[in-house]
């Protein structure tokens, strides 16, 4: 499988899932390291390349990852790196690495392993909707398969040992991607974020640490990995997220009841602009697609499928546009290609307006 | 005829005319006063009412104005006053007057006379496109008919005497309404305005003195009325306007050639928003309708008639919306009714988008 093969279809995490009107996707990653080997940052290039060879050799043959993508970072061109990042398959950190680091991805993108990022292994599972339990099970199965082949750096007292102390213990980070347009439009997202932070959860934008809220998307994840069991982390986070979902549903109801005109105007404008603009930036596309998603969820837009919108949110990112075009595109060209793609997809999907 | 009868159809000045892609309408008004009678501002209410009775009695019977509107300002409710102002049939000044002032309008709105505004008579003719010669002829014919019935205040040395010295002489103001989106989008409207001002012309916004440029509409009129003949004023202004038209055409050409994407985006967004928004303010409506008008003129929008756009520019004004609704509307209600009206008219007019 090649990087380009991923482009042909959306990842399985873009399919329908539980409570997917609010929870776009669930993700669990486990940080793992090989026993008695230097962490990637301390190892030289030769040692990292030996680890890459050993680990990728085994992983790319595992039944879970077979016939998937198996590639060293140095072999991936710049546009493809950006593309994989937008697909949530590699991190900003891995993008910067060259020889001796790489990526193994299952064809449907539900499983991915980064090798020699901050840790020797970063195992990740990603699924649509709110599904932290099943997502954890999936990555645990992969973890067991890897553990059968290698000895992990593990302390009976502390748990899994990791390059950064913040990951020591379970080495686990569970996160969900939330779409919260109701809370944003009702000006109620701030207290929710404060509440989540207060109980020890991290809140980030669509593209992870240090990114702003675009398209009314928020990532929420656990911070504590030490002294808690994996399934407790998943269950606790899922319970909190259920409450956020309820708040969002409630905000949408009040939006319909109290500010129906403003809501229909908001959704109608998003639909009208995306259906007719010829230059659209990444940020504007995300914000307007968020408006469409809300319109679909509330039955205001009846002829657009939510899957179309979610796919467009991914496909209109700069890396995806350049992969689709098969070449590098300047910012202005991307704005044009992005607008064209959205217009075509919205026209193909339906033929009635958002009008009356 | 009643004020409401004017609502049923657009004034004749909204029909097709010469160079109407740039020149929306031409207007000529003549200030006239009765000999040996006090100017309206100096006359008491009794005298004004006597003049109103005398003058309106004659005017409303003239063949040019027969079966038109013939109404004293005090009989017009507030919404209708605003409506007539938006129709360019009465001035801000006449709106404020009550008993003894009024209005006579020909059914197709090409001729109108304000009685006891600043002067005893303000005769006006208004026609579509660039047509100052014919517009002047029309108002001159009316002027001759009035002069046959009354003796005007006239000085052989100065010409027609008027309440304000700036109108003494011909008492004539010729003006054209220009739509200049090309010059505005190319950032070239400022030097044009400076040039026009330098040669003694007045430049104002859509609603006359002291109004801002909305919808890329500009009113240009002569300032000097003394020592020039009426037809010279008309010919001179028409020549200058022909040059402005050429500048605007040139700007539109360069816009197409050099900034085609930005242009299509501008037009597409205007179309998309107006076709799907549910709350639209007066100012936004004018600006976006201006975008549609440009799109139609440049062949980007093929299924909308320019007449539809010009009618909407008039019909979506606050007074018109309230006349159409048959009641007073709050600002928010107007924004909703305005958006609904535009959406319906755009949908009725065509069924294809601005898209590709």
Contacts of A264 in chain B (CB under 8 A): 278
Three-state DSSP state, B177: strand
Q: What are phi and psi of A136, to 5 degrees?
A: -65, -45
Report the pLDDT value the prediction gives residue A125, as an integer from 0 to 100: 97
**pLDDT at residue A37 is higher than 80:** yes
Residue A207 CA to chain centroid, in angstroms? 8
Predicted pLDDT of residue B17: 80
Q: Which of these, B290, B261, B262, lies nearest to B274 by C-alpha position?
A: B290
Averaged pLDDT, A119-133: 96
Residue A354 pLDDT class (50, 70, 90 cuts): very low
Phi and psi torsions of B25, nearest 5°: -155, 160
CA distances from A11 to A82, A125, A310, A342, B80 (A): 16, 12, 11, 19, 61
What the block records as the tokens of B116 is: 């006891």
d(CA B71, CA B91): 15
Whether the predicted pLDDT of A173 surpasses 70 = yes
Identify how many contiguous H helices and E strands chain A contains and give both numbers: 13, 10
Q: Is the pLDDT of residue B356 over 50?
A: no
pLDDT tens readout for residues B24-44: 999 999 999 999 999 999 999
Structure tokens at A331: 């910012």
Could you tell me if A337 lies within 8 Å of chain B, comparing CB atoms? no
Tell me the nearest-neighbour CA distance from A263 into chain B, angstroms: 9
Q: Residue A276 and residue B353: Cβ atoms within 8 Å?
A: yes
Query: Given a cut of 70, is residue B211 above it in pLDDT?
Result: no
DSSP state of A97: -
Instruction: Name the residue among B269, B279, B347 with its Cβ closest to that of A273.
Output: B269
Query: Residue A285 and residue A217: Cα distance in Å, rounded?
Result: 13
Q: For residue B208, what pLDDT band results from cuts at 50, 70 and 90?
A: low
- B163-182: average pLDDT: 95
B353 confidence band (pLDDT: 50, 70, 90): very low
The answer on pLDDT for B11 being more than 90 is no
Q: What is the pLDDT of residue B351?
A: 42
Tokens 């307007």 correspond to A288
CA–CA gap between residue B261 and residue B266 (Å, rounded): 8
Give the confidence band of A60 by pLDDT, cuts at 50, 70, 90.
very high
Two tokens at B176?
A: 């054209």
Q: Work out how many CB contacts closer than 8 A connect A with B.
A: 72
Residue A195 pLDDT greater than 60, yes or no: yes
Region of A47 on the Ramachandran plot (φ > 0 left; ψ -120 to 50 alpha; else beta): alpha
pTM for the predicted model, two decimal places: 0.88
Summarize the confidence of residues A158-164 as an average pLDDT. Answer: 95
B237-276 residues touching A, CB cutoff 8 A: 261-262, 264-265, 268-269, 271-276
Q: Which residues of B122-152 are buried (b: 16+ CB within 10 A; e: fewer)?
A: bbbbbbbbbbbebbbebbbebbebbeeebeb
- What residues contact B224, with CB distance under 8 A and at least 6 apart? B200, B233
Average pLDDT, integer, range B220-244: 92
Let me know if domain B3-251 sits in CATH 3.40.47.10.
Answer: no
| ipTM of the shown complex | 0.86
Q: What is the mean pLDDT of residues A192-200?
A: 93
Secondary structure element (H or E) that encloses residue B262, with its range: helix B260-276
Distance CA B8, CA B69 (A): 14
Of the listed ranges A127-136, A289-298, B219-228, the least confidently predicted one is: B219-228
Region B243-268: mean pLDDT is: 96
Select, from the ranges A95-99, B84-88, B119-123, B205-209, the one with the highest average predicted confidence (pLDDT). B119-123
What residues contact residue A354 under an 8 Å CB cut-off, 6+ apart? A267, A268, A271, A272, A295, A300, A301, B276
Residue A288's CB is within 10 A of a number of other CB atoms, namely: 25
The residue extents of the domains of chain B are 3-251, 259-355
| Sequence-ordered strand ranges (E) for A50-128 | 69-72, 102-105, 111-115, 121-128
Residue among A135, A156, A136, A139 at smallest CA distance from A147: A139
Backbone phi, psi, residue B63, to 5°:
-55, -40
* Phi, psi (degrees; rounded to nearest 5) at B81: -60, -45
A13-42: average pLDDT = 91
Q: What is the pLDDT of residues B100-152, one digit of tens each?
A: 999 999 999 999 999 999 999 999 999 999 999 999 999 999 999 999 999 99
Terminal C-alpha separation, chain A: 47
Burial of residue A202 (CB within 10 Å: 0-12, 13-18, 19+) is middle
Residue bearing tokens 């890396």: A319
Inter-chain CB proximity A265 and B274 less than 8 Å:
no
User: Which residue in A has a C-alpha nearest to residue B346's C-alpha?
Assistant: A355
Of the candidates A261, A347, A354, the beta carbon closest to that of B355 is on: A347
pLDDT band at A22 (very low <50, low <70, confident <90, very high): very high
CA distance A352 to B98: 51
The residue of chain B with its CA nearest to that of A343 is B355
Q: Is the pLDDT of residue A356 over 50?
A: no
If you average pLDDT over residues B174-184, what whole number do you get?
Answer: 96
* Cα of B329 to nearest chain A Cα, Å: 16
CA–CA distance, B32 with B172 (Å, rounded to integer): 9
Facing residue for B273 by CB, picked from A269, A279, A332: A269
Question: Which residues of chain A neighbour B273 with C-beta distances below 8 Å?
Answer: 269, 272-273
Please state, in angstroms and as integers, the Cα–Cα distance from residue A216 to each residue in A68, A292, B262, following that order: 32, 12, 27
């Amino acid at each position: 499988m090649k990087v380009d093969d991923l482009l042909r279809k959306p990842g399985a995490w873009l399919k329908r899932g539980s409570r997917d009107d609010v929870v776009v996707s669930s993700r669990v990653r486990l940080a793992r390291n090989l026993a008695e080997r230097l962490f990637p940052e301390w190892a030289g290039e030769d040692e990292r390349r030996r680890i890459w060879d050993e680990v990728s050799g085994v992983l790319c043959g595992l039944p879970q990852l077979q016939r998937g993508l198996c590639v060293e970072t140095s072999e991936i061109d710049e546009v493809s790196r950006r593309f994989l990042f937008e697909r949530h398959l590699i991190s900003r950190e891995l993008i910067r690495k060259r020889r001796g680091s790489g990526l193994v991805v299952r064809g449907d993108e539900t499983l991915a392993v980064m090798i020699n990022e901050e840790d020797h292994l970063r195992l990740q599972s990603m699924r649509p909707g709110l599904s932290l339990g099943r997502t954890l099970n999936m990555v645990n199965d992969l973890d067991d398969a890897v553990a059968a082949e290698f000895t992990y750096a593990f302390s009976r007292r502390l748990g899994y040992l990791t390059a950064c102390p913040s990951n020591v213990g379970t080495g686990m980070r569970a996160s969900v991607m939330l779409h919260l347009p109701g809370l944003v439009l009702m000006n109620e997202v701030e207290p929710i974020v404060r509440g989540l932070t207060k109980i020890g959860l991290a809140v980030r934008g669509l593209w992870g640490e240090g990114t702003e809220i675009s398209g009314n998307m928020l990532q929420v994840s656990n911070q504590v990995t030490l002294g808690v069991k994996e399934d407790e982390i998943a269950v606790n986070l899922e319970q909190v997220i259920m409450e956020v979902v309820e708040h969002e549903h409630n905000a949408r109801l009040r939006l319909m009841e109290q500010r129906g005109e403003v809501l229909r105007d908001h959704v109608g404008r998003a639909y009208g602009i995306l259906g007719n603009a010829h230059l659209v930036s990444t940020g504007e596309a995300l914000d307007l697609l968020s408006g469409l998603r809300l319109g679909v969820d509330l039955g205001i837009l009846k002829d657009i499928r939510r899957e179309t919108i979610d796919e467009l949110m991914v496909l209109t990112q700069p890396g995806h546009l350049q992969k689709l075009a098969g070449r590098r595109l300047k910012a202005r060209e991307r704005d044009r290609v992005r607008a064209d793609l959205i217009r075509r997809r919205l026209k193909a999907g339906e033929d009635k307006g958002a009008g009356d």
